[in-house]
Amino acid sequence: MSDKGAPRYNIGIDVGGTNTDGVLYDSVKKKIAASVKIPTVHSSYAKAIENSLKALLGSCGNNSSEVASLNISTTVSTNALLEGSGENSNLILIGFDRYPHIVSDIEMTIRPLSLLKVSGGHTGWGKERESFDREAVEKFAKGREGELFTVSSFYSPRNPEHETAAKRILLSNGSGHVTCSHELSYSKLNSVKRTVTAYLNTSLVPLANRLLDDISFVVKKYKITCPVMFLRSDSTLVPSEWCRRFPIEMIYSGPAASLKGAYYIAGNCDQSSFIVADIGGTSTDIGRIEKGRAVFSEEGARIGSYRTMIPSLDIMSIALGGDSRIEISEAEEIRVGPERSVPLCITSEEIGLSVEDLNLKHSSGSITATPEHVKPLPCRTEDLCRSGPGKWFTEEFSYTPTDAFNTMGLSEVGNTGISKAASCLMGKRYKMSGFDLAKQISAKTNSVLGCSIKEYESRCGTMPRIYVGTPAKVFAELEENKEPEIIVPENFDIAGAVGAAVSSIELSCRVFIMHSFSEENFTAFLPEATISSDNFQELLVEAEESGKRYLAKLARKMGFPETRVITEKNFNYVGQTENIASLLSVSMELRAVQDITQ
């Protein structure tokens, strides 16, 4: 135990498309005490977590009482949305009858189990526009016991009264999970994105419940009594029970963990700004840190064709990694990905393939380079860039960048002899040595990463780069242009797990105040109420205090009674004069923070 008698370790587990990484973080000495990397079990995320947990607990004497927090980042929500494996939900739209174009946009994006449109809704000032048709909802709910529901009311971020009334009716009728759109609006307006976000969240709830039930079984098996936390797409932690209600908030969990981990292992310099590339086996995620803080996307998280309201870091994900499938066309054109394959060098472990099986007589095991006049093969890189951190799985074994890296002596993954033999076999077809073929494939693979980073830099300009992920060192060595600087920090291969281990609890809410020039008063739209006053200063103080009370209540529900609240205010004026008379609106962001590593 630590000197204070409190648990000293946090466990961070990052379930990736290829590997599951875990770290045991010593919160007293502020360092990584142990780490583990094992293949991801795609049939059971819980099994992958259990295997990592078992190894890490062994590093602290199997004393689970020493563990303060178990923090997990996972791609389960992402993969379910990309694969379309979420469950259908009924949808209730309140007050949308006057706006058929909005309803049409919603129906073009999602396919609800059934749709009910009823009267109700509010104005932009939070005032009731039409009375809510309770009888229609009660009739609709009958016979649908146990089914999933999503409820969206017009201008519900300004007044959620009709949504909450519909939810009470549905739950009293014995429905399954109900998501109200205002719960995931973050006080922002956009009827289509808000409704789609809520619907997608509902579709993920059954899957999240199954995962969390499996993890609960694992936790009990190893007698772990600490909180089980999950990383959200904004790189903050929430308890596992929160994930049962809002699993969609985990859609960018993996990339968020990597960015957080990269910042930590790079030294936590508050004034540093850099681009992070997390290069995995399946995909690569690119994000950035500016002046010590991760940069967020203004549009919210995107996954596949879906645009959501979920706060997310500004991440670009591409289907490029050490396990990307390599194909060479009849026109001798190299194609890198987007599919993932198991590298040939791993086949000896998986199916017992040997060098002899490739029918090659390669006695020395070494590959010599051919003259420099060998014609370079062109490269195809289309379809690699994705709007979300998608995972591209296949059970096939084929030649991959990892095999090329093995051939060049840049890595030693699996049976390197198989990689070299396969390179020779492929090289003969194109009248070059295996080494030269591997060199061209490696160069082309690296160019895909370089082009993607340059595309990302169009948002922010050129910055130093930090490479993390298992093949990070290889890609850094392949880069001939040393400007901007490329840094591969210590523990680069477990950045995601480190990010999960050192993340903190953070809750947020947004308060919006509008000035009504016609009525000469101000209206504050709070998380749970709407209030008006002609005294701006009193309203501003009450709005801030209301936001703090809301966050404190939320934190207590999660089991964290003590948090530190940070408030940021943004004032918007009409014209050049900045006074009360010209004040148009105030946007107030409140964040409640609790650092679990302290």
Domains of the chain: 87-203 (3.40.50), 324-458 (no CATH), 505-594 (no CATH)
Q: Which of 129-138, 249-258, 584-593 is most confident?
A: 129-138
Q: From residue 80, how far is each of 41, 213, 306, 390 by CA, in Å?
A: 16, 17, 13, 10
Nearest to 247 by CA among 301, 179, 200, 201: 201
Question: Among 44-48, 118-122, 125-129, 255-259, which stretch is predicted with the lowest mean pLDDT?
Answer: 44-48
User: Which residues touch 88 (CB under 8 Å, ≥6 apart)?
Assistant: 111, 112, 113, 148, 203
Q: What is the pTM of this model?
A: 0.74
Beta bridge partners of 276: 287, 466
Tokens encoding 562: 């003590």
Question: Among 104-108, 362-366, 539-543, 577-581, which stretch is predicted with the lowest mean pLDDT?
Answer: 362-366
Question: Among 78-82, 179-183, 185-189, 316-320, which stretch is predicted with the lowest mean pLDDT?
Answer: 78-82
pLDDT at 593: 73
User: Which residues touch 397 (CB under 8 Å, ≥6 apart)?
Assistant: 341, 342, 343, 344, 346, 347, 350, 351, 353
Nearest to 6 by CA among 89, 69, 50: 69
- Provide the percentage of residues in the chain whose pLDDT is more than 70: 87
pLDDT at 394: 39
pLDDT at 349: 57
Comparing 304 with 222, the larger pLDDT belongs to 222
Beta bridge partners of 38: 20
pLDDT at 547: 86
Residues 72, 74, 76, 78: what is their CA dihedral angle, to the nearest 10 degrees? 140
User: Which backbone phi and psi does 317 adopt, to 5 degrees?
Assistant: -115, 135
Distance, CA of 256 to CA of 500 (rounded, Å): 9
Residue recorded with tokens 């209301």? 546
User: Which residues touch 131 (CB under 8 Å, ≥6 apart)?
Assistant: 119, 120
- Give the SS3 label for residue 421: helix
Has residue 240 got a pLDDT over 60? yes
Has residue 363 got a pLDDT over 50? no
pLDDT mean across residues, the chain: 82
Has residue 506 got a pLDDT over 60? yes
pLDDT at 264: 87
Q: What is the mean pLDDT of residues 367-379?
A: 42
pLDDT at 560: 67
- Give the SS3 label for residue 215: helix
Has residue 368 got a pLDDT over 60? no
pLDDT at 2: 44
Element (H, E) at 166: helix 161-172
pLDDT at 552: 83
Banded pLDDT at 379 (limits 50, 70, 90): very low
Give the largest CA-CA distance in the chain: 90
